[in-house]
Chain A
Amino acid sequence: MKSLMSRNGLLCLAGLVVALLIPQFINNKFYIDVLTLILFSAFLGQSWNILGGYAGQFSFGGVVFFGTGAYASSILFKTFGIDPWIGIFGAIAAGALMGAFIGFISFRYGLKGSYFALITLAFAEFFRIIANSVEFTGGGVGIFIDHKPSLAQLQFNDTAGYYYLAMAMTVISLLIAWWLERSRFGASLVAIRENEDAAQALGVNAFRCKMYAICISGAMGGAGGTFYAQKFLYLDPPIAYGIGTSVEMLLVTIVGGLGTVFGPLIGSFVLHGINEVARHYLEAPGLSMIVYGLILIGIVGFLPNGLIGLVRSTLKRFSGGGNA
């Protein structure tokens, strides 16, 4: 058991070193860009995973935190001249606050399951329309952010800069999930997911734990928003609050493995990988989406515990065979 744990630790370390060295060996900007988006998607997936995977509160509007964070740091920058490296903390706070707001309304009134999914979807749509209608978000025109590469702006001249930023964020998100799996708070979230009544009977303050979970998820989503805005330098309501991002957040997590540390990262790699490969090799327009969709149906239909679940059960079978 001990050797297994240290083996996992070594694997993580090796992965980190490889990830750090990749820009030194790959000069193709396209690949670095794809990798950056994979990491970013994994980061957003982890934000969803804290609430949906660990606490079992399936949100269908995870994008609402991302959008709020993106607007927060962009407005702080454009209107108040606050540099994004400070603004990202504003975005984190705004995301957490949004989490507290939506969480309080939903959990206070005991919304669970599909009702929680629907109300989060409704909130995302609500804020999309608000962002479209008010002036300080730039309305439907959106916000253009000037390209001034520097660390203070969280903008970079080369793609590797964004890659390293996305990597740092992903590592932090993995550490959050890793801590969660080892803490009382994480155990409480999992207990709530498995059976909320039983958890409460055993002294778990379900309301408070769910509030913390949605705030952490919101804070992470907010940070992701700043990254997006500084990378793409443009923000409008459909980008900030579009349902596509919400779906992607839950998809990478479900495909990789709900409530696991590496689920979102693995799911992100596989889904984006399939997407890019399909797009590269299939000439007919739209065909790549069909292939992507079919593979997705296969994974969701046949792997209830995601790819991590598949790996675990395979390992178990092998080690079981070895012992016998």
Chain B
Amino acid sequence: MLEIKGLTKTFGGLTAVSNVNLSVEEGKIISLIGPNGAGKTTLFAMVAGFLKPNGGTVLFENKDITNLKPHSICELGMVRTFQVTQPFAKLTTLENIMVGAYCRTPDRELARERARAVAHQVGMTTALDQPADSLTVSGRKRLELARALATQPRLLLLDEVMAGLNPTEIDEIVDVIKKIRDSGVTIFLIEHVMKAVMNLSDYTYVLNDGVRIADGTPTQIANNSAVIEAYLGQGAAEIMRDGGSSDA
């Protein structure tokens, strides 16, 4: 469904994303993990048309979208959320979601109806008339998700929708994401909450210093020494293995 080939982005002398290949299969939940500063959000920004890559191509449903603008990509059926939530602060929750719904219909009543349905889907029915800037962190994350869903995407890019949520809220949103997947939307997500990554993903890619260092099922990734070293430092995998054996 999504095919990324040799994607590269440099900012001055810094290579944020270097020659990354990955693919997202339809109907799955694919995750992208990696330490802070690994280039995950930069990768998302390039895929969604917010940043121009220095090299490489992005194919969405076999169509080259590398140089398309964000709004065209959204119309094609791929939408991203923002890691730092970007609500339309002075609008109500419903009005916020309606902006997304207007992507598929010019009709106000239809857009309102669609927005209501999406709000129900992500559990925001009680906050419909609340201004977006009065929402809690969890509310804002849900709003990001709801607005994106309202554009009726086939591929949803979620950038850390669980960051800053408490364990109960995380469990709730994990359920919501599973239901979205079950409704036929493919999901590609960046996440730091490992419990959620393990629980949700069908396949995981790991990025470190802009380079793809590993990929596989979540269980394979959790035991991959390159991944452990990327997170904990050089030699960490060995220490953990040794530590594990001496304890036993």
Are the CB atoms of B103 and A203 closer together than 8 Å? yes
Contacts of A184 in B (CB 8 A): 102, 105-106, 108, 111
Q: Which of B75, B82, B105, B111 contacts A198 (CB 8 A)?
A: B82
Does A155 sit at the interface, judged by CB under 8 A?
Answer: no
Does A190 sit at the interface, judged by CB under 8 A?
Answer: yes
Q: Which of B89-108 contact A (CB under 8 A)?
A: 89-91, 95, 98-100, 102-103, 105-106, 108
Given known A183-B108, A187-B99, contact A200–B69 (CB-CB < 8 A): yes
How many angstroms between the C-alpha atoms of A143 and B71 in the bound complex? 47
How many angstroms between the C-alpha atoms of A204 and B72 in the bound complex? 9
Q: Nearest chain A CB to B113's CB is how many angstroms away?
A: 14
Report the interface size class on chain B. 20 to 34
Are the CB atoms of A190 and B88 closer together than 8 Å? yes
Contacts of A190 in B (CB 8 A): 88, 91, 95
Contacts of A198 in B (CB 8 A): 82, 86-88, 147
Contacts of B86 in A (CB 8 A): 195, 197-198, 201
Contacts of A205 in B (CB 8 A): 69, 71-72
With an 8 Å Cβ cutoff, the count of chain A residues facing the other chain is 19
Contacts of A199 in B (CB 8 A): 88, 99
Q: Which of A183, A187, A203 contacts B151 (CB 8 A)?
A: A203
How many angstroms between the C-alpha atoms of A202 and B49 in the bound complex? 12
Given known A201-B82, A202-B151, contact A194–B108 (CB-CB < 8 A): no
Does B79 sit at the interface, judged by CB under 8 A?
Answer: yes
Give 1 or 0 for each of A175-214: 1 = CB within 8 Å of chain B CB. 0000000111001101100110111111111100000000
Q: Which of B131-183 contact A (CB under 8 A)?
A: 147-148, 150-151
How many angstroms between the C-alpha atoms of A199 and B71 in the bound complex? 8
User: Which residue of chain A has its CB nearest to the CB of B82?
Assistant: A198
The winner among A182, A187, A195, A198 for most chain B CB atoms within 10 A is A198
Q: Which of A182, A194, A206 contacts B88 (CB 8 A)?
A: A194
User: Which residue of chain A has its CB nearest to the CB of B103?
Assistant: A203
Are the CB atoms of A202 and B148 closer together than 8 Å? yes
Given known A184-B108, A187-B95, A197-B86, contact A202–B79 (CB-CB < 8 A): yes
User: Which residue of chain A has its CB nearest to the CB of B133?
Assistant: A194
Given known A188-B102, A202-B74, contact A197–B151 (CB-CB < 8 A): no
The winner among B69, B91, B99, B103 for most chain A CB atoms within 10 A is B99
Given known A182-B108, A184-B102, A188-B102, contact A202–B147 (CB-CB < 8 A): yes
Contacts of B48 in A (CB 8 A): 201
Are the CB atoms of B70 and A201 closer together than 8 Å? yes
The winner among A188, A195, A206 for most chain B CB atoms within 10 A is A195
Given known A187-B99, A191-B88, contact A203–B75 (CB-CB < 8 A): yes
Are the CB atoms of A194 and B91 closer together than 8 Å? yes
Does B80 sit at the interface, judged by CB under 8 A?
Answer: yes
Q: Nearest chain B CB to A193's CB is how many angstroms away?
A: 8
Contacts of B71 in A (CB 8 A): 200, 203-206
Q: Which of B53-85 contact A (CB under 8 A)?
A: 69-72, 74-75, 79-82
Are the CB atoms of A200 and B108 closer together than 8 Å? no
Question: Could you write out 19 A-B pairs with CB less than 8 Å apart?
Answer: A183-B106, A184-B102, A187-B98, A187-B102, A190-B95, A191-B91, A197-B82, A199-B88, A200-B70, A200-B71, A201-B48, A201-B50, A201-B82, A202-B79, A202-B100, A202-B103, A203-B71, A203-B74, A206-B71
20 additional A-B pairs beyond A191-B91, A200-B71, A206-B71, beta carbons within 8 Å, are A184-B102, A184-B105, A187-B98, A188-B102, A190-B91, A190-B95, A194-B91, A195-B86, A195-B89, A198-B82, A199-B88, A199-B99, A200-B69, A200-B70, A201-B148, A202-B79, A202-B99, A202-B151, A203-B71, A203-B75
Interface residues of A (CB under 8 A from B): 182-184, 187-188, 190-191, 194-195, 197-206
Give the 5 A-B residue pairs with the shortest CB-CB distance, closest first.
A203-B103, A194-B88, A203-B74, A198-B86, A200-B70
